[in-house]
Amino acid sequence: MIHVLNLTKYYGDYPAIQFVSFDVPAGQIVGFLGPNGAGKSTTMRILTGYLTATSGKATIAGLDVFWDSVEVRRRIGYMAENSPLYLEMRISEYLHYRAGIKGLYGAERKKRIGYVLDRCWITDVRRQIIGTLSKGYRQRVALADALLTSPPVLILDEPTAGLDPAQIRSTRGLIRELGQEHTILLSTHILSEVEMTCDSVIIINRGKVAISSSLADLARKAGERARLVAIFDHAVESDAFLNLPGLTEVVPQALPDGALVRLSSPDMVDLAPKVCALAAQKGWRIRELRSERATLEDLFVQITGEV
Amino acid sequence: MRASMSLLRREFSAYFLSPIGYVVFAVFLAVTGHLFSLSLGLLTARGPKGLSYPMQLMVNDVSFWLVYLFIPPLLTMRLFAEERSTGTLEILLTAPLRDGQIVLSKFLACYGFYVLLWLPTLLYLPVLLDWEWWTMQSGIDPWPVVTTYFGLALAGAMFLALGMLVSSLVKTQMVAALVTLFIGLLFILAGLWRPADMDTSGLAYQVLYFFTVPLHFERNFSRGLIDTRNVVLYVSLTLFCLFLTVRSLESRRWR
């Protein structure tokens, strides 16, 4: 649905994004992940036609975002960062106006406004002036606006930023539901959000795509780098582990009341019984044995090089 | 087309959602009302006083131009600068509207409010024109009034287009207002003050006359004259500013 090829954007001499390429297949929810200033918003603004790329090409539903900008914008529901709104208007007035400039009129307009008000849980407050609403409600108004024309593509720039935990949870639920009818590209820097809502993830760092893969693949990749953590009640000779077949790495660590050993192996399933057998043979007392998976967060930190 | 109308309606109603619209309206009505009462005094005075033309005092007075100077900046400052500072420009420009549609809708909304400002002054006309209701004819020549309104309509379009252009270039309303005020001053200053001994046939005066709007009203529009030089200046500058505003909006795409 969204194809991006070698997108590059310079602000003066500063490259905001460089040779960014990715694909978002129809019907998927794709998380766009990256540290602040990585170029997420810039990429989204190019896709929505607010900015133009310095070079490269992006198409949405087969239409070029530069040459067919207006047609592309008709097919996109965009929720901008920090959800800017006209604060002096009432919610219903605002949505009425937005429906008008998006080409919805008459009975259809009324129907869609009613639908999005309901969908985003703002029917009760529709008479309120937007300026008097809390951040969470404003986010929902912006989302309702994005949904007005039921566009095939939704581009959401940090849809859950600044919400409280309950609101984040309900918004995620909503996004997952919306994912059944829309193709969604959402940016965030909350990692658990991506794990919970998205089908695949694009991690962008310093203007370049670092990883673009499905969450299942990422989980597999993370699994490859899983480790077994064994905690003993007393000090152990870590050299003994080296005799175990297939072990690639042993990292011992002394604890005040015992010892901790991190073991890595390409074959995690077999490792735990072997360690138990070794412990039994040596008469060690195992206090805890658990596997430690690399989380998306580890991956993210590793890629972006931030602590 | 209907999308443009939606935008136009919002922009127009936005004037009534902020205090600035009401303040402009009140001050404008107070000044034109005061000038009307002065005109009435002159028209009914005994002796060799009076007015040569019905709208003469209303558009040639210094206090009128002082107030008029502030109207375009106050009406246009919010058009783009406010949207830029609050970030709503992004959601406006990512809606399926062409830049030209946005500029034209905003301009017409602003112009609509300007026209609205002048509507109450139509109430003064029956008196100024010595209107006779039973014959539906004015007691004096009505054309100076028509040309005055014609001039005001075109001059207003020019000032508003200038203001909108400035608003599309800057980030804050305050800066937009001040810059527009300064540019407006260039067109109005010589009407408020110029050397008393100025030679009206000299080159300096000719140049001043070319772009000083109050002089156009004093010499032409309020007397029932239409000088095409003035009309060409207003219309061409309006269109040029609208064109530049579209380009200025577009500039985000090639900057």
pLDDT single digits (tens) B104-118: 999 999 999 999 999
Tell me how close the Cα of A138 comes to any Cα of chain B, in angstroms. Answer: 13
By the CB < 8 Å criterion, does B249 face chain A?
no
By the CB < 8 Å criterion, does B14 face chain A?
yes
CB contact under 8 A, B3 and A50: no
User: Sheet of A208-214: strands edge to edge?
Assistant: A76-79, A153-157, A183-188, A29-33, A200-205, A208-214
pLDDT band at A267 (very low <50, low <70, confident <90, very high): low
Q: In 3D, which of A199, A194, A177, A150 has the Cα closest to residue A299?
A: A194
Chain A neighbours among B 74-113 (CB < 8 Å)? 86-88, 90-91, 93-98
Q: What angle do CA B42, B47, B51 make, to 5 degrees?
A: 35
Per-residue DSSP letters for B44-56? H-SSS---SSTTH
Q: Longest Cα pair distance anywhere in chain B, in angstroms?
A: 67
Tell me how close the Cα of A152 comes to any Cα of chain B, in angstroms. Answer: 14
CB contact under 8 A, B95 and A89: no
Contact residues, chain B, for A61 at CB < 8 Å: none
Contact residues, chain B, for A78 at CB < 8 Å: 91, 94
Per-residue DSSP letters for B61-96? -HHHHHHHHHHHHHHHHHHHHHHHHHTHHHHHHTSS
Alpha carbon distances (Å) from B150 to A127, A252, B71, B103, B190: 42, 91, 18, 23, 22
- Express as a percent the part of chain B with pLDDT over 70: 99
Nearest Cβ partner for B3 among A50, A52, A100: A100
Look at residue A268 in the predicted model and tell me its pLDDT. 66
Tell me how close the Cα of B85 comes to any Cα of chain A, in angstroms. Answer: 10
User: Considering its fold, how many domains does chain B have in total?
Assistant: 1
Q: Evaluate whether A57 touches A5 at the Cβ level (below 8 Å).
A: yes
- Express as a percent the part of chain A with pLDDT over 90: 27
Sign of the C-alpha dihedral, residues B232, B233, B234, B237? Answer: positive
CB contact under 8 A, B2 and A97: no
Mean pLDDT over A285-298 rounds to: 77
CB contact under 8 A, A97 and B10: yes
Residue B67 has, within 13 A of its CA and on its CB side, a CA count of 20
Which residue stretches of A75-127 are H helix? 91-101, 106-119
Cα separation of B163 and B141, whole Å? 35
Q: Evaluate whether B72 touches B159 at the Cβ level (below 8 Å).
A: yes
Q: Which residues contact B22 (CB under 8 A, 6 or more apart)?
A: B16
CB contact under 8 A, B252 and A70: no
Q: What angle do CA A137, A141, A146 make, to 5 degrees?
A: 145
Per the prediction, chain A carries an average pLDDT of 85
Cα separation of A211 and B228, whole Å? 66
Q: Evaluate whether A70 touches A223 at the Cβ level (below 8 Å).
A: no
Is the pLDDT at A269 greater than 70? The verdict is no
Contact residues, chain A, for B252 at CB < 8 Å: 50-52
Report ipTM (2 d.p.): 0.87
CB contact under 8 A, A97 and B252: no
A interface test, pick of B1, B8, B90 with most A CB neighbours within 10 Å: B90
CATH superfamily of A2-221: P-loop containing nucleotide triphosphate hydrolases (3.40.50.300)
Tell me how close the Cα of B5 comes to any Cα of chain A, in angstroms. Answer: 8
Cα separation of A124 and A87, whole Å? 18
Cα separation of A49 and A70, whole Å? 8
Nearest Cβ partner for B3 among A51, A71, A101: A101
Cα separation of A286 and A273, whole Å? 12
Nearest Cβ partner for B3 among A71, A76, A103: A103
Cα separation of A221 and A218, whole Å? 5
Mean pLDDT over A221-225 rounds to: 67
* Residue whose entry in the numeric block shows the structure tokens 């593509």: A153
CB contact under 8 A, B96 and A51: no
Is the pLDDT at A154 greater than 90? The verdict is yes
Is the pLDDT at A46 greater than 50? The verdict is yes
Tell me how close the Cα of A193 comes to any Cα of chain B, in angstroms. Answer: 25
Alpha carbon distances (Å) from A98 to A60, B204, B209: 22, 52, 46
Look at residue A223 in the predicted model and tell me its pLDDT. 66
Q: Which residues contact A151 (CB under 8 A, 6 or more apart)?
A: A74, A75, A76, A77, A182
Of A272-286, A290-304, B61-75, which gets the smallest average pLDDT?
Answer: A290-304
By the CB < 8 Å criterion, does B253 face chain A?
yes
Look at residue A307 in the predicted model and tell me its pLDDT. 42
Tell me how close the Cα of A171 comes to any Cα of chain B, in angstroms. Answer: 21
* Residue whose entry in the numeric block shows the structure tokens 């000083």: B212
Tell me how close the Cα of B88 comes to any Cα of chain A, in angstroms. Answer: 5
Look at residue B198 in the predicted model and tell me its pLDDT. 75
Question: Which residues is A156 bridged to in the sheet?
Answer: A79, A186
Q: Domain extents for chain A?
A: 2-221, 225-304
Domain limits for position B187: 2-253
Q: Evaluate whether A28 touches A76 at the Cβ level (below 8 Å).
A: no
Nearest Cβ partner for A88 among B7, B17, B97: B17
CB contact under 8 A, B88 and A97: no
A interface test, pick of B94, B249, B250, B253 with most A CB neighbours within 10 Å: B94
The reply to whether A225-304 shares the fold of A2-221 is no
Retrieve residue B76's tokens. 């246009």
pLDDT in tens, B3-38: 899 999 999 999 998 899 999 999 999 999 999 998
Alpha carbon distances (Å) from B13 to B6, B109, B162: 11, 8, 21
Is the pLDDT at B235 greater than 90? The verdict is yes
Which CATH number among 3.30.420.40, 3.30.2130.10, 3.40.50.300, 3.40.920.10 corresponds to the domain A225-304?
3.30.2130.10
Nearest Cβ partner for A88 among B18, B91, B254: B18
| DSSP helix/strand/coil, B129 | coil
Cα separation of B196 and B49, whole Å? 23
pLDDT band at A146 (very low <50, low <70, confident <90, very high): very high
Mean pLDDT over B175-185 rounds to: 95
Is the pLDDT at A243 greater than 80? The verdict is no
Contact residues, chain B, for A74 at CB < 8 Å: 96
Is the pLDDT at A116 greater than 50? The verdict is yes
Question: Which residues is B77 bridged to in the sheet?
Answer: none
Retrieve residue B128's tokens. 């100024």
CB contact under 8 A, B91 and A145: yes
